[in-house]
Structure 1
Amino acid sequence: MGLAVENLKMNFKTMEEFKSFKEYGLEELSMIEELQTSMVEDNTNSPFYGIYYGDRLAARMCLYIRQDTLNLVSGNDQYVEIWKLEVLPAFQKKGLGALLVQFAKSFELPIMTKPRVKSQSFWEKVDFKPVSENSTRLIWLPEKKNAQKTS
């Protein structure tokens, strides 16, 4: 079965699927309100990405491209922030979380995240390091092979 990360359309079916994730919350509720007012714009990209296993949404994450106004990452004016990365229990240990992170790394920007409880070993496996000694935030930095500044 070819598993692929896809941009999730923010429709009522997706919102219904989100209810099976632990991290379901206010963000999705506000999106439901937006959906009800802009249901016509089906082609708009949402910040949510997911992996379907058969016809079931098995893993998802929320990605934001942020402007680095605080100069958190030297040499970059943008970074990717991962929120709500979660794999449903029945689909864990199948590489879906790593596939989501690999997708985020394809932007070739630094990535920041704040790991949930008991997920530290996962983030270490996918090469994330603490931002600083007493920070709870983790970061991944792309290799600087072709460090070309695009403007």
Structure 2
Amino acid sequence: MKEVKVEKLLINYKTLEEFKRFKEYGHQELSMLEDLQSNIVENDSESPFYGVYYGGSLIARMSLYKVDKKYDQYFEPQHDYLELWKLEVLPHYRGKGYGKSLVDYAKGYNLPIKTNPRVNSHGFWERMKFQKATYEMERDFGQNPLIWLPEGISERNTQ
């Protein structure tokens, strides 16, 4: 596979149309359509959305939010971290490294990453070196968050 380019997605109506292709595949719980619609202002708005294009079409996407260390209850010492949401690759393009490219892009920030994986995706996250969080904030109960730690940062103890 040739090198995959991850792009920051613009918040505009073209991106909104691209997102509709993902929703059509039945992943209602992963749809970022509502998020995008509420954020459309103009092309240069700060976007939390990233994607991979193939042949001019968006084929993989994710949301990536930076969380300030003052809200960190996962890592020791407290640290800014990324929250990776709604990673999705269109069915025809799965298993070809596009999801991995998105995760590697996020890892490139060299910050801890937290995600709440969707059902049946734990194998993917394990291959990406994510592990089950042993310390769960109250709001994460039932969601089984997974975390990835760059070198030199450890997970907070559960005591």
Is the partner of 1:19 in helix, strand or coil? helix
Partner of 1:89: 91
Matched, 1:47 2:55: no
Tell me the residue number matched to 2:112: 110
Deviation at 1:29, TM superposition (A): 2.4
Give the whole-Å Cα distance in 2 for the aligned partners of 1:24 and 1:102: 22
Between the aligned partners of 1:71 and 1:121, the Cα distance in structure 2 is 25
> Given that residues 3 and 53 in structure 1 are in contact (C-alpha distance below 8 angstroms), is that contact kept between their aligned partners in structure 2?
no
Q: Report the counterpart of residue 156 of structure 2 in structure 1.
A: none
What secondary structure is seen at the aligned counterpart in 2 of 1:94? coil
Amino acid corresponding to residue 5 of structure 1 in structure 2: V
Question: Structure 2 CA distance, aligned partners of 1:30 and 1:116?
Answer: 18
- Cα contact 1:63–1:80 (8 A) shared by 2: yes
Alignment correspondent of 2:103: 101
**Greater RCO (CA < 8 Å, at least 6 residues apart):** 2
Q: How big is each residue's C-alpha offset from its partner over 1:42-86, in whole Å with a ceiling of 9 and x where there is no partner?
A: 222300000001111010000000023243111242100000000
Letter of the aligned partner of 1:59 in structure 2? A
TM-score (norm 2): 0.80
Q: C-alpha root-mean-square deviation of aligned residues, in Å? A: 2.0
**Structure 2 unaligned spans of 5+:** 154-159
Amino acid at match of 2:53: Y
Q: Which moved more, 1:131-140 or 1:100-109?
A: 131-140
Read off the aligned partner of 2:95 and give its amino acid letter.
K
Q: Secondary structure at the match of 1:104?
A: helix
Residues in 2 aligned to 1:49 and 1:85: alpha-carbon distance in whole angstroms: 9
Alpha-carbon distance, 1:10 to partner? 1.0
Letter in 2 for 1:54: G
Quote the sequence identity (%).
42
Distance 1:102 1:112 in 2: 14
Match of 1:123 in 2: 125
Seen in structure 2, the aligned counterparts of structure 1 residues 15 and 137 have a Cα distance that, compared at 3 Å, is same
Instruction: State the secondary structure of the residue aligned to 1:20.
Output: helix
C-alpha change, 1:109 and 1:15, in structure 2 (3 Å) is same
Distance, in Å, in 2 between the alignment partners of 1:63 and 1:138 is: 15
Distance 1:85 1:17 in 2: 15
Contact 1:7/1:45 (CA < 8 Å) preserved in 2?
no
